[in-house]
Chain A
Amino acid sequence: MDHTHLKAARQFIDAIPHSRRLGMVMEDLTDGQAVISMPYDEALIGDPVSKVIHGGAVSALMDTAGGAAVMAHPKAGIGTATLDLRIDYMRSATPGQRITATATCYHVTRSVAFVRATACDDDTQLPVATATGAFTVIKGKASS
């Protein structure tokens, strides 16, 4: 991706207060695919024994990546919202490591976009979590 494209994509994340609060960074954005990372933060701990961050923070990362992938699809509309999102947690994210989510929007109809996503920490062989979701396709007034 060229520099200006990535800069615009990063501004997209910066415009989402909750994603910005979680420290998310857009790593890559191509047609129908988004890669977004999030740093480890002790404030996000969900399990006081293991210091592992809460699954909800991983959900927020997957949801943001999913929405970005939908918006980056050539057939996308002017906006999107999550209809449903299912997350499967394969293992605990390793405390201290950054989590990177890769979301792919693999099909878009006139009103629905379908997404798959995977989240990994430093060990990219076994994902921390996978997700599948359906997102709305919001068309502009002219095309509806």
Chain B
Amino acid sequence: MIKRPEPVGAVKHRRDTVLSAIVGQIPYIQFLGVKFDRHGDELTATMTYHDDLIGNPMLPALHGGATASFLEMTAIVGLTWATMWEDMEAGTLDISTVQTTALALPKTIDFTVDYLRAGLPRDAYARAKLNRSGRRYASVHVEGWQDNRDRLFAQATGHFLMPARDANRT
């Protein structure tokens, strides 16, 4: 017998709940003014422009540290999201636990930012790509852009130490 697909509303609600539980737990995401949009499993981070992100008031240009933080945050949320995806879709992830318990997040081992052009005083976007996600270590590449998807203003590669596999399970 063919299993009936789950109603689209229930699927979206589950995914959005998990994503907002991850994002809502990290104060620094709110500090920077970063939000995440989801299309299926693809996440796009947006750092909404505000004056406190400026590093060079003469140009003006975004602070390299704000850009680095934005890209590193995108990598960490992307990694966490990817590791939860399978359990979430299989229905083995306890959503209420995710919402109420502090999540074990990947720890950054190293992070290298390549500044390609000055960050303009406007919104910035980023997406993370998992080069390799193992049980203990992960390598992530992040691309950041502003007005044009093909004109990156910064990109980064980082290595992360993954939390124990059962840390986010009940």
| A residues apposed to B, CB below 8 Å | 15-19, 21-22, 42-49, 53-57, 59-64, 67, 79, 81-89, 92
Contact = CB atoms under 8 A, between A and B. Distances in A.
B88 interface: no
- How big is the B interface, by class? 35 or more
B85 interface: no
Chain A at the B interface: SS class: mixed
B68 A16 contact: no
Contacts, number: 139
A42 B27 contact: yes
B102 A48 contact: yes
B25 to A, nearest CB: 5
B28 A46 contact: yes
B66 interface: yes
Interface in B29-56: 30-32, 51-56
**Most chain A CB neighbours (cut-off 10 Å) among B26, B52, B54, B69:** B69
B72 interface: yes
A46 B109 contact: no
Nearest to B161: A89
B118 interface: yes
